[in-house]
Amino acid sequence: MIAWLMGLPLVAVAAVAGRFAARYGRRAGWVFAAAGVVLAVAAVVVLVAATGPAGAATGAVAAKAAAGAASTSNAPALLGAAIAVAGSTIGAGIAVAYTGAAALAVMSERPELFGRAMVIVGLSEGIAIYGLIVGIILIGKA
């Protein structure tokens, strides 16, 4: 229940951002890209500040202490699985958007090409399935 309450402001911000994007189109894309760059720079600054010269000595001690725990951790495998699934589904979504639009355009002119057009759309959906399989394999190795 706490997680939902903590995530509620994020949902509200996403709803407002969606309305902004729908209203202003391309300009909103530039605003979102700039916000992403600012957040990335802020994350790097926080990372550098957390592991700066003052934290270097404690960082080395913490790294030695965590070396034993890192051998039993499966976080890298789970992170790799998440990246594989997320990247493949985003790629598949983009591919289906383009191939689906082209398939509809072709079918409006020549309806007998329905089967061929759907095969191409199905191949582009296969990208997501490949990412899911890689994710399952990585989770199995964890």
Residue 62 has pLDDT above 80, yes or no: no
Tokens of 76: 């890298």
Alpha helices in 25-113 (DSSP H): 26-50, 53-70, 75-109
Domain residues for 121? Answer: 74-142
Task: Please tell me whether residues 64 and 118 are part of one structural domain.
Answer: no
| 3-class SS of residue 71 | coil
Task: Please tell me whether residues 79 and 106 are part of one structural domain.
Answer: yes
Tokens of 129: 């399935």
Number of domains in the chain: 2
pLDDT digits (tens, 9 = 90+) for 64-93: 555 555 456 788 888 888 888 888 988 898
CA-closest candidate to residue 60, choices 73, 47, 51, 69: 51
Task: Please tell me whether residues 42 and 87 are part of one structural domain.
Answer: no
Task: Please tell me whether residues 61 and 80 are part of one structural domain.
Answer: no
Report the CATH number at residue 132: 1.20.20.10
Given this model, what pLDDT does residue 29 score? 67
Task: Please tell me whether residues 32 and 92 are part of one structural domain.
Answer: no
